A = this chain, B = another copy of it.
Amino acid sequence: MVDYPDYLQLDSLLSAQALESAKHGTPARDELLFIIIHQTYELWFKQILHELDLVEATFAGEQMDDAFLSDAVHGLGRIVSILKVLVNQVDILETMTPLDFLEFRDLLVPASGFQSFQWRLIETRLGLRPEDRIAFDGQPFEKKLRAQEQAALLALLKEASLVDRIDAWLARTPFLVMEDYDFAEAYRKAVAEMFENERAIVQSNDSLTEDDKNRQCAAFDASEASLTQILGDQVAESGWRFSDKALRSALFINLYRDEPAAHLPFQLLSLLMDIDELMAAWRHRHALLVQRMIGAKVGTGGSSGHGYLAETATRYRIFGDLFALTTYLIPRSALPPLPGAVQSAMRYQYSAK
């Protein structure tokens, strides 16, 4: 017989708020709020890690059953949903004024959000690497964590992150080279035709001077070179994180997202971008809150607070390649149609009958 309070372990949950200010004699009005909001953050972090377990498992093997892809999309969608609430609930913390925070802030030194092991796990498992991080205090990012947590994080860095798993899965996409179809070739040709067309329009425009025509055509040349660059090998050396094959597959999925077999892959890539955006939004709101709460003072963990957080919000991007790929999209009307064999392969069995 299950009982609501036992099931939720409310006795221990609701007695896990010990105010430092109470230990020093006078309970501060808002310290309970400060503890509770951080506890809800950590509970949600646990749920995010649980969803990541399931998502990672779906990308573990060599083969990926379609039903698993649906699970991955479901799990990432839930992470997005949780991150939205985490961003929004900063509203509650903003009802605490700096004066109220100062009542107990000094008692918390040197505790710090830097010590959230779960948040570091989330960042690392998604694929944020030590070299992507902004140096702080000249110390490695994991320095403020407990010894066994540091060890766990360093071990984790040697394993495949979600970025790595997504890369391997993307690289396996079967449709890009099929019978006599070569996506890279078709894309290059479409881009060439598109620009040929543009150049012809410019050249036949009598209202333009010869100089204008030349300048505009030169701009087209540069754009074309840029658009086809992604098709070459060793692209990945020039600042991209994904492998050549994975990048081309991601481009293919973006371009042909309406084909049944591309539906879920496209949703999955979109959700990864959502996660990146929401983590940036969370850092951004957090930075603004710190600025409002303690101004130029240092954070309880010794960080310069606002500045550091604002920089992480702007620079940390785990799936940055997916954002950068949009540069390589072309209008749907310029999109080369897929040959019948490729299109069939991407349809459901029953529709082929």
Could you tell me which A residues sit within 8 Å of B by CB distance? Answer: 1-5, 7-10, 12-14, 16-18, 20, 26, 29, 32-33, 35-36, 38-40, 42-44, 46-47, 50, 54, 66-67, 70-71, 74, 77-78, 81-82, 84-85, 88-89, 91-92, 95, 97-100, 102-103, 106-118, 146, 174-175, 254-255, 257-261, 263-264, 273, 277, 280-281, 284-285, 288, 291-297, 310, 313-314, 323-333, 344-353
Q: Is the CB of A33 within 8 A of B47?
A: yes
Given contacts A92-B82, A333-B103, contact A285 B295 (CB under 8 A): no
Q: Is the CB of A346 within 8 A of B351?
A: no
Given contacts A7-B108, A43-B36, A284-B284, contact A258 B2 (CB under 8 A): no
Q: Is the CB of A111 within 8 A of B3?
A: yes
Q: Is the CB of B2 within 8 A of A17?
A: no
Distance of A56 Cα from B352 Cα, bound (Å): 25
Majority SS at the chain A contact face: helix
When C-beta atoms are compared, the residue in chain B nearest to A326 turns out to be B295
Shortest beta-carbon distance from A341 to chain B in Å:
10
Q: Is the CB of B350 within 8 A of A352?
A: no
When C-beta atoms are compared, the residue in chain B nearest to A223 turns out to be B297
Shortest beta-carbon distance from A344 to chain B in Å:
5
Q: Is the CB of B111 within 8 A of A10?
A: no
Q: Is the CB of A14 within 8 A of B42?
A: yes
Question: Using Cβ atoms and an 8 Å threshold, which residues of chain B touch A77?
Answer: 95
When C-beta atoms are compared, the residue in chain B nearest to A109 turns out to be B2
Q: Is the CB of A9 within 8 A of B18?
A: yes
Across the A-B interface, the 3 shortest Cβ-Cβ residue pairs: A295-B327, A4-B115, A295-B326
Q: Is the CB of B2 within 8 A of A325?
A: no
Distance of A117 Cα from B6 Cα, bound (Å): 12
Q: Is the CB of B95 within 8 A of A38?
A: no
Distance of A255 Cα from B47 Cα, bound (Å): 25
